[in-house]
Each structure stands twice: as structure tokens, then as C-alpha cells.
Amino acid sequence: MASKTGSIFSAVAMASAIAVASPAYAASAGSKPTEVRALSTASHQAATTRLLPDGVWHCDGLDNGQLCIRFINNYTGVDERYDKRSGDPISIRFLYYDNSAASGVPHSDNGAVTIAANQSRSFAWNNTYPRQCVQGVMSVNGVDLIVTERICRS
């Protein structure tokens, strides 16, 4: 269910708290470092857009795993997944934005989940009828945000 309130959305709305998944990361100011962390400005958001058919995953590589997103159910929903390869357990939350993290409508998961090395976690939004393009976001330990490359219907 879509929600426009909450601390994750407030943090994402502040452009300085948005990051693109990429091999290089910087710790956010005042936060305890985690093995998955990122911080950049909105201008560094996904510079490219991937055109994908329904059901095909797009994954962005991270130092210790990968963050993936796809359209599902004939483009009526979105599925987001994190595959963690290494590091200490962390708490994560998923959300996605219609259009992009900078200007889209947010859709949140049902709450934080813990993930350890060699595990995968995912969340699917059914019947949310996303727009032409979507962008996934993962919150790590309630502090750092990782943003996927924007994907669009092919």
C-alpha cells in the first residue's frame, strides 16, 4: 500500500540522502558505518534508464551483494530483491518510486527485515499499477539509502 509519510520517505525527499548503487561508497555523516552504505546527491541518481520486459530482473552490483528490481504481473506490480554475499547482518527496508526517487510517488514495504551473508530478501508490490518507469530504494540500518538504476517498460 502506498504511503507518503514516514522517516524513510522524509530522508529520500532530502536529495542529499539519495545514492545510486555503485561499487564505491562513502559513509554518511554522523552515521555508524555499515558494509552497505552510500551517500551522494540527487544529481548522481541513475544517469541512464533500462528498458525491461515484464518479469526480467535488473540488478545493480554492490561490494557485498546486489540490489535488483523488476516489473511483475503484466506490469501491474514491482518486485525488489537484495542478495547479500558477505558482511555482518543488517536491517533493510524496501521501497520504490513511480518515475524516479527524485520526483516519484513512493510505495513502501511492510517493515524492516534482517539479512545476513549468503541470504536474499525481497518484497513484491502487487496491483500498484506503476507508471512507465520505476526506481527502487533500499534503506540500510535506517540510515543509508541505496537507489537502483531507473527501469522502464520495454
Indicate whether 2 belongs to any domain: no
Q: What is the pLDDT of residue 41?
A: 31
pLDDT at 136 (0 to 100):
95
Give the CATH number for residue 52: 2.60.40
Report whether pLDDT(57) > 70. Answer: yes
DSSP class of 110: S
Please write down the long-range contacts of 115-119, taking CB distance under 8 Å and 24 or more positions apart. Answer: 115/82, 115/84, 115/89, 115/90, 115/91, 116/84, 116/88, 116/89, 117/64, 117/84, 117/85, 117/86, 117/87, 117/88, 117/89, 118/84, 118/85, 118/86, 119/84
Q: Residue 1: inside a domain, yes or no?
A: no
Do 78 and 72 meet the contact criterion of CB atoms below 8 Å apart? yes
Q: What pLDDT, on a 0 to 100 scale, did the predictor assign at position 36?
A: 37
Domain of 71 in residue numbering reads as 7-153
Q: Would you say residue 62 lies in a domain?
A: yes
Residue with cell 525527499: 13
152 alpha carbon, distance to own chain's centre: 15
Q: Which residue has the higher pLDDT, 59 or 104?
A: 59
78 inside domain: yes
Q: Mean of the pLDDT values across residues 49-77?
A: 95
Is 132 within a domain?
yes
Residue bearing the bigger pLDDT, 42 or 105: 105
Give pLDDT tens digits for 5-31.
344 444 443 332 334 443 333 233 333
